[in-house]
Amino acid sequence: MEKASSRLRVLALLVALMFIALSTRLWFLQVLATQRFNKEAINNSARLVYSDPLRGQIYDAQGRTLVVNQESLEVRITPDQLGDKGEAVVGRVAELADVPIRDIVSKLQDQRFLPSQAIPVAEFVPKEVGFFIAEHRDQFPGVEVVPTAVRSYPFGRLAAHVLGWTGLIDAAQYADLQKQGYGPNDIVGKSGLEAVYEQYLRGERGKQKLIVNADGETIQALGKIEPTPGDDLQLSLDARVQRLAEKALAEGMVRARSYHDAIGNSLRANAGAVVVLDANTGGVVAMASNPGFDPSWYVHGLTPQQNKYLNTNVNVGASNNRATQLSYTPGSTFKPITGLAAVKEGFASLSGSYPCEGEYTHPNDTSGTKFYNWTSVNLGYMSIARALEVSCDTVFDAFGSDFYFKWAQNPLGDNGDLLERDLHEWGFESPTGVDLSSETQGLVPDPGWAATRPDLFDNGAWIPGGDILTMIGSGYVQVTPLQLAQAYAAIANGGHLCRPHIADQIVAPDGSVAKRIEDHCDHTIPYTPQQLSYIRSALRSVVASGTAQCAFAGFPTSQIAVAGKTGTAERDSSKQDTSWFASMVGPDPEHPAYVIVTMVEQGGFGGQTAAPITRQVIDALYPNVTDASRPSCITEDR
């Protein structure tokens, strides 16, 4: 019995010792080892790794590739991770990637980006650079070499303002787009079509969940979602016409510099634009802006010289699209539109006859202000059509007085006048809605605007000269070349004001059409078919026997009808005149197929510079019909 009792005591002791051991172990695991296990849990953590999709490509109307993707090894530096050895790290990267230190520092100090962003500082580096940085991680904190796809441009500088460019998302964009799944190191569209169609071109990022240790080594790969390529963009723009329009503009500007202004100075002809529209749909066939640039500059990163060239200021910088982002006084190209407004309001008629004198004075004006025609000769009475043909200012000056008197008798409630209202119906002083970023709206001066400009108008009071000068496209009225092209297209197509568009359709990665860009021509201008036909006929006379006659000498107008209006817009004394030609072109004179507007800053007379450029563009549209000979013209027109 004592034996059994002894055994039970031993057994009880063993059980007790086991419980003490288990309790001790449990206490150790719950208390003493908590930090160690937490650390191990952190060291073996889950991480989401994202993979960038291929950005959609951009094609012209004929399927020619304008923008594609190209593989690149890119060096990126995250400023926050450089630590106190940043200067040495940047120096090593500059030497290894063969990039000037100042260029890298400039990019890292760019206030548009966050310090936590991995900022690209070198592109297209050799594989050996990536291997070296990977093997010497301790010498390159905050530096990574990433394989990526960058934009490439098979046609070089062609249509750079239209296509736009891409770049690292900046802080402001990231604040707006992070809710849409964008990361701080994503590449986004910055301008042009790249920016407007970002949501389609971008695609969807892929992602994979990895279990990694403290050294970043993958322990286990979990689920993976492959990236989805972006949609492609097919345009209404024709690369062949675009190339020839850019060539014609550049050559015409060079040619203009051999001419002289009224005081004998050589014309500067420093910038210009050409717009070619499908008159019936609003599709942009070509849009040239000079000076231009190479969009691949942004891929490699701008040098200080390139940045200065592109962004000197709003009036000089080559990054500006002269067709949409800057506005100009339109000169006599405005007369077909203001002439129709005068007919609409009953101040003129298509059958009327009006004096074209050398100068004009507003009735009952005691200030002595005179408005001069481009010639001092009294050309006698003439129709509106003839006034357009010879570009008589004083005929339209008198219509401006009529508009002023109408306003003085019965001002509109919004402090505007009839002329302003009529011009708004053509889309002036409003963006056209073209699918490009940063479009300016221009200006139609009116009594309300004058009240805000006492520096220009005595006590801000509206005066007759406001309407008189607007009638001839002078004074303070401002339009973009695209706005003017949109208005002329409405004259050409029978009164439909079409919203211009450059994209034609969005194509999914599988080749199906994801979205068609619909034509928007539902807004109509309030003019009869007879009135519009009258203007088209008058503008054909401008080409046949008027101010554009010289530029179109020998042109086969019996096969390709051309109707147009020259314009020479005076500017302040520090700048030379702006040269314009706005035209409608096509085999059927009553149903023109295209509208072409050409503008050259400081280019002199419209018939001298802009009209010959337009003729070259027409040669591009109808290469098998037109005569390529282009005479030099010295004309005097307004």
CA atoms within 13 A on the CB side of 429: 14
**Span 553-567, average pLDDT:** 96
- Look at 32-36, 267-271, 272-276, 499-503 and tell me which has the smallest mean pLDDT: 32-36
Residue 4 predicted with pLDDT over 60: no
Beta-carbon contacts of residue 502 (< 8 Å; ≥ 6 apart): 162, 193, 235, 236, 237, 283, 284, 287, 434, 435, 436
Band the pLDDT of 32: cuts 50, 70, 90: very low
The neighbour count for residue 38, using CB atoms within 10 Å, is: 10
The answer to whether 331 touches 567, Cβ cutoff 8 Å, is yes
Q: Distance between CA 580 and CA 598 in Å, rounded?
A: 6
What is the reported pLDDT for 28?
45
Cβ atoms of 328 and 599 within 8 Å: the answer is yes
The more confidently predicted of residues 114 and 250 is 250
Q: How confident is the model at residue 11 (pLDDT cuts 50, 70, 90)?
A: low
Q: What is the mean pLDDT of residues 74-78?
A: 88
Distances (CA, A) of 541 to 241, 552, 590, 606: 26, 11, 14, 16
- Per residue in 420-432, pLDDT tens? 999 999 999 999 9
CA distance 93 to 132: 11
> Do 331-481 and 239-309+492-505+528-621 have the same topology in CATH?
yes
pLDDT band at 116 (very low <50, low <70, confident <90, very high): confident
Q: Which two tokens stand for residue 450?
A: 């004058």
**What pLDDT is attached to residue 503?**
98
Strand intervals (E) in 474-553: 496-497, 503-507, 513-516, 523-524
| Cα–Cα distance, 336 to 465 (Å, whole number) | 19
Which pairs from 618-623 meet CB under 8 Å and 24+ separation? Answer: 618/555, 618/560, 618/562, 618/585, 619/244, 620/240, 620/241, 620/244, 620/245, 620/248, 621/241, 621/276, 621/285, 621/585, 621/594, 622/560
Report cis status (omega within 30 of 0) of the bond before 291.
Answer: yes
The candidate with the shortest Cα–Cα distance to 491, out of 448, 547, 520, 534, is: 534
Element housing 102 (H / E): helix 101-108
Residue 582 near residue 611, CB atoms below 8 Å: no
Cα–Cα distance measured from residue 571 to residue 282, given in angstroms and rounded to the nearest whole number: 30
- pLDDT above 80: residue 113: no
Q: Across the chain, what does the average pLDDT equal?
A: 89
- The residue with greater pLDDT, 511 or 43, is 511
The proportion of the chain whose per-residue pLDDT surpasses 70, expressed as a percent, equals 87
Helix (H) or strand (E) holding 532: helix 529-545
Residues 309 and 302: beta-carbon distance below 8 Å: no
Residue appearing with tokens 């952190």: 42
Stretch among 35-39, 578-582, 584-588, 615-619 having the lowest mean pLDDT: 35-39
Cα 73 from Cα 57, distance rounded (Å) = 20
Let me know the angle formed at the C-alpha of 393 by 389 and 398, rounded to the nearest 5 degrees: 120
Spans of all domains in the chain: 71-109+118-136+146-151, 153-205, 239-309+492-505+528-621, 331-481
pLDDT in tens, 150-198: 899 999 999 999 999 998 888 888 888 888 888 877 889 999 999 999 9
Residue 578 sits at the vertex; the CA angle it makes with 573 and 584, to the nearest 5 degrees, is 160
Q: What is the pLDDT of residues 80-97, one digit of tens each?
A: 888 887 888 888 988 888
Give the CA dihedral 141, 147, 149, 152, nearest 10 degrees: 90
Report in angstroms the alpha-carbon separations of 60 from 13, 172, 237, 430, 577.
91, 32, 6, 28, 35
Query: Phi and psi dihedrals of 370, rounded to 5?
Result: -120, 145
Q: Which of 335, 566, 596 is nearest to 489 (CA)?
A: 596
Burial class (CB in 10 A: 0-12, 13-18, 19+), 149: middle
Give the whole-number percent of the chain exceeding pLDDT 90: 63
Q: What integer is the mean pLDDT of 587-610?
A: 97
**Top-ranked range on mean pLDDT: pick from 4-13, 556-565, 629-638:** 556-565
Question: pTM for the complete prediction?
Answer: 0.87
Tell me which of 201-205, 339-343, 482-486 is least confident: 201-205
Task: Give the Cα separation of 419 and 339 in Å (integer).
Answer: 10
CATH number assigned to the domain covering 153-205: 3.90.1310.10
| DSSP H or E run through 22 | helix 2-27
Nearest to 331 by CA among 55, 525, 610, 27: 610
Is it true that domain 239-309+492-505+528-621 has CATH number 3.40.50.300? no
Task: Please compute the mean of the pLDDT values over residues 131-139 and round it to a whole number.
Answer: 87
pLDDT tens per residue across span 527-557: 999 999 999 999 999 999 999 999 999 999 9
pLDDT bin (cut points 50, 70, 90) of residue 635 is: low
pLDDT at 29: 47
Cα 555–557–558 angle (5° rounding)?
130
On whether the CB atoms of residues 584 and 539 are closer than 8 A, the answer is yes
Residue 416 scores a pLDDT above 90: no
- pLDDT value, residue 36: 55
Torsional sign, CA 452, 458, 462, 463: negative
CATH 3.40.710.10 fits 331-481, yes or no: yes
Read off the pLDDT of each residue in 485-494 and give the average, rounded to a whole number: 98
Tokens of 28: 């150790």
